[in-house]
Amino acid sequence: MKIPPYLKAGDTVAIVCTARKFFEEDAKPAIELLESWGLKVKLGATIGLDHFQLGGTDEQRTEDLQNQINDTTVKAIWIARGGYGTVRIIDKIDFSRFVENPKWIMGFSDITTLHSHIHNLGVATMHSIMPFTVPNAADEVKQTLKNALFGEEIKYEVASNVHNITGNVTGEIVGGNLSILYSLLGSPSSINTKNKILFIEDLDEYLYHVDRMIQNLKRNNYFTNLKAIVVGGMTDMHDNQIPYGQDAYGIIKTIALEYNLPICFDFPAGHVKDNRTLIFGKKGALDINSEKTTLTFID
């Protein structure tokens, strides 16, 4: 797995839309944050474009992302916001220069499409807050992105959850938004989870559909040779008038028990305020015990 060069003061970060629209005025908090870290900011041509829900047409979003990939002065690309739309352009991007000279791609939610596709190209990415979420992000959360970008040590300790299954494993971290992972199954962007640690999170889903997605991941062998599951925010889940019978914890834990996998819940990442940065494609040492969960990224 290629780890893109970490940033240093004076480097340039591009902000672009691959999904929902985002405007220059809304980008000011993110720009100020990056500049406070000594970085330069380049706003992509899609910032300010308004094509219904999207930040420009498919052609405009493709061209903007391609330009930032090919621009050798840009050392990282921060996707402005999620929503929907990245899958519409992923197969139009030429990643050949990117693989030769990789740079950090950052974001979460819909950006799972980019994380997964780029993982299959052998390059690490960052699951992180986005410019859209900067205004509501705690200083500690912003610091995790800075630490990751500048190559500082990343170690998280999280309180134990009653639903956890203990274990101690090491492996590459992969994953992202459960709905997006589900939607990518059968495509070139679907990831291989063998000997890896799978992170999942989601927002605003019905419980029966959570189970449907988990069952489909199961049928695609996502859990067969997996080392562990890390569950982030399963936020604002819904049930029908006739209850499904399990909550999100129970649905996912059932799979962990079936495959004898260590699992931790309520990890601070995803559609939650405490959305800490994860480096997908980098090895992590995961220790889930009765007192706490510790995740340490290692070389």
Catalogue the active-site residues. Answer: 109, 201, 271
Token pair 């274990």 is found at 167
Angle between helices 207-219 and 248-258 (to 10 degrees): 20
Contact between 208 and 238 under an 8 Å Cβ cutoff? The reply is no
The widest CA-to-CA distance across the chain, in whole angstroms, is 57
Helical (H) or strand (E) element with 31: helix 24-36
- Cα separation of 112 and 181, whole Å? 7
**CA atoms of 203 and 80, how far apart (whole Å):** 18
Burial of 42 (0-12, 13-18, 19+ CB in 10 A): middle
| Distance in angstroms (rounded) separating the CA atoms of residues 172 and 230 | 12
Helix (H, G, I), strand (E, B) or coil at 116: helix
Residues in the chain: 299
